[in-house]
Copies of this chain bind each other. A is one copy, B any other.
C-alpha cells in the first residue's frame, strides 16, 4: 500500500492550521519584496497530516520495534524519561539569548555534563558545542592545528589507520591536512613499530579509534602515544566506541590528547533517523586554550558563558550546541551513576562476545583477538552466490534490522555486529538462531537470500538508477 507524497494529498483551499485573528493593523511589503504565493506547497487538513506521517512511520524500523545491531552506531535503548525531561517547558522553552542569571538551570546542566564527561574520559576539559561526532572531530583537529601554530610549527600530515571511520580522513582534509593512511596489519591493531616508522616532524597527529572499528582494543596505545608525543605530534581519539570502556579505561589516561564523544551512541540519546546528535570534545590541559567558544564556567556558584577566550579556534555553530541532546545525556548519566556506566560497558562487551561465541563456527571471523563491544565477521564462509548484502536483506525478513555491512573496509564483505548492553540473552539467542538459519538457507535455498526482503513496503531498490539520474525533488506531473 503506497502512501502518496504529501503534495499529492493537497486540495486547494484545505487547511491544517489555525491562527488567532490578527490584533494589529496588517502591513503590506513593498512590491519588490512581497511574495504572493509559495507555489507547490501542500494544502491539507490536520487529519491528512496525521494519517500521512503515521503511515510513513509504519514503514520504518526503530529500536523499539526490535533488535538493531548496527555496528559502530551503539543502538542502545533510548530511555523514555529522557524524552519527558527534554520536553519540560522550562527546558525546551528557554531561549538561547536569555540572560545568564535567568538560565542558570540550562547553564548548570551544561557545566555538570562537561565535568561528568571529563571524569568518564579522563580529559581535563570538555566543550559541548559540536553538533555531532564529525563536527566534534572537526573541532578537535582544528584545535590540534591551532596548538601546532601556537608552537610556531606548521606540520602538514595526519596519520590515519585503515580501520578508521571515513570521517577521520575527511575531517583532516577539511582542516587542510594531508592524510597518510597506515595499515593496521594482520592482528587488526596498530603496532608501535608501524607508527614509529611513519612518525616524522611533519606529522601533526595520529587519529585513532579505540576500541577500533574491528571492536579490538588498541593494546599498544600507550606506547604509540608516547611515540607520537616524542615526535612532537598529538593523538586524536575517535570516541565513537566509548561504550566499551566506561569505568574500565579512560582515553585521557591512555595518552590521547583530544577525543569527541557521541552522546547519541554512548549516552543513549535517540538517533532520530539520522540526527540530531551531539559531539562534545574532551582535551588535555595543553589544548584548553583552544577550545571553541563560548565555554560554560562556574563563578562563585553562578554559571556563565565565557566568551573571552583569545586563543580559541572560534565558534563551531550558533549558540551553545544541541542543548536538547545534552539534557538527555545528563538524565542518562544521573540514572546510571558511575557504577551503572561501568556495568553498561561490561554487559555490552559480554553481549558482543556471546554473539561471537555463538556464530564463530559458522561465520568467518577475520581477526582472532578478543574483541570488545562489537564483532566483525566476513561473508567468506557464506555458501553459493550469497553475499553480505543478501544476508542483511534476509535478516529483514526475520524481523531484524541488519548489522552494519561492508565496513570496516579492511574486511571483505564485513558484517559488523554491535548488540549493546540493553539487549537480553533471549534476544541475542533468537538473533543468532536466525543468523545460523540463514547460513543454512544460503546453502539449501539461496534464492531466499537473493530475493530478500520479501515482506517490506518495497523490495530492493535500484540505487544505480537513483544516482545516474537523480530525482531529488517532487515535481507534479504536467
Contact = CB atoms under 8 A, between A and B. Distances in A.
Interface string A72-94: 00000101100000000000000
A291 B335 CA distance: 51
A424 interface: yes
A73 to B, nearest CB: 17
A424 B18 CA distance: 18
A80 B50 contact: yes
A48 B424 contact: yes
A397 to B, nearest CB: 10
Interface of A: 1, 9, 11, 14, 18, 45-48, 50-51, 54-55, 58, 64-66, 77, 79-80, 335, 399, 422-424, 426
Contacts of A46: 77, 79-80
> For the complex, would chain A's binding face be called helix, strand, loop or mixed by DSSP majority?
loop
A64 B51 contact: yes
Given A50-B80, A65-B55, A45 B1 contact: no
A91 to B, nearest CB: 14
Given A46-B77, A47-B424, A54-B65, 4 more contacts: A11-B426, A18-B335, A47-B77, A50-B77
A255 to B, nearest CB: 36
Contacts of A424: 11, 14, 45, 47-48
Contact of A1 (B77, B80, B399, B426): B399
Contacts of A48: 424
Contacts of A54: 64-65
A160 to B, nearest CB: 36
A434 to B, nearest CB: 12
21 contacts: A1-B399, A11-B426, A14-B424, A45-B422, A45-B424, A46-B77, A46-B79, A46-B80, A47-B422, A47-B423, A47-B424, A48-B424, A50-B64, A50-B77, A50-B80, A51-B64, A51-B65, A51-B66, A54-B65, A55-B65, A58-B58
A380 B474 CA distance: 46
Contacts of A1: 399
A407 to B, nearest CB: 26
A4 to B, nearest CB: 10
Contacts of A66: 51, 55
A77 to B, nearest CB: 5
A430 to B, nearest CB: 11
Contacts of A422: 45, 47
Contacts of A14: 424
Contacts of A58: 58
A318 to B, nearest CB: 29
A1 B65 CA distance: 12
Contacts of A77: 46-47, 50
5 shortest interchain CB distances as A-B pairs? A54-B64, A47-B77, A47-B422, A50-B64, A1-B399
Which of A47, A65, A426 counts the most chain B CB atoms within 10 A? A47
